[in-house]
Amino acid sequence: MRLVNRGFAPVKTFWLALLPSPHHMREMLIETELTPNPATIKFLPGRAVMENGTRDFAAPEEAEASPLAEALFGLGDVTGVFFGREFISVTAAPGSEWSSLKPDVLAILLDHFSANMPLFKPAAAGFAVPSADADYPLDDPEDADIVIQIKELIETRIRPAVANDGGDIVYRGFQKGIVFLQMQGACAGCPSSSATLKNGIEQLLKHYVPEVIEVRAA
């Protein structure tokens, strides 16, 4: 396998892998994008990553369910891995240089996708991908209609925008006018995440759902 950098802009970079096959060399293109979090880069393999939902790995011990996540954490300079619908976000450890880490990450991703390896270990290992739409104990049954409105706005207006930045926002509950959200992927630890919650998401939810008075990170 040989990597060829086909960068066209400072924000987006295209990496071409030349993969040997029995009769000829075939190509696989992986696109990389910078995110608002300088420690995180978004990798797009040009195919679906997660069929349903998303999956966040915030520590190496959480990656046991996924051979790909394990391999990425195994590099030693990775502190976070996030699987989105069509992308993977990787967060580098403080002090790490992406210039040296990126080729190693790309090699792992290319090996994984070119071999069509499973993203997760068999369900027999006792693992299930959590649903982003799961209900949480903070919800009051009397607020069911309000919660439906909040979830719809998150799903249709907020999550697509956040996914463009290599992350996700997951609903965690609504109580006494306060919406609890969890930042994942590139959004977790991003210097601008607090401003995003207060100046962006909170204002949007308060505009469309008058019962919302505040948004907090879960």
Residue-wise pLDDT tens digits, 105-148: 999 999 999 888 999 988 634 444 444 445 555 688 899 999 99
Fold entry, domain 141-217 = GMP Synthetase; Chain A, domain 3 (3.30.300)
Cβ neighbors of 159 (< 8 A, separation 6 or more) are: 168, 169
Q: pLDDT averaged over the chain?
A: 82
Question: What confidence score (pLDDT) does residue 15 get?
Answer: 52
Which of 81, 74, 37 lies closest to 55, judged by CA?
81
75-78: list long-range contacts, CB under 8 Å, 24+ apart: 75/101, 75/104, 75/105, 75/108, 77/101, 78/105
As annotated, the residues of the chain forming the CATH 3.30.300.130 domain(s) are: 141-217
β-pair partners for 182: 170
Q: In this structure, are residues 125 and 80 in contact, taking their beta carbons and an 8 Å threshold?
A: no
**Is the per-residue pLDDT at 73 higher than 80?**
yes
- The percentage of the chain sitting over the pLDDT mark of 70, rounded to a whole number, equals 80
Degrees (nearest 5) of the Cα angle 88, 94, 95?
115
Please give the residue that has the higher pLDDT: either 176 or 17.
176
- Every domain of the chain with CATH number 3.30.1370.70 lies at 2-125
Please give the Cα distance from 192 to 155 (Å, whole number). 21
pTM of the predicted structure, to 2 decimals: 0.75
CATH number for the domain running over 2-125: 3.30.1370.70
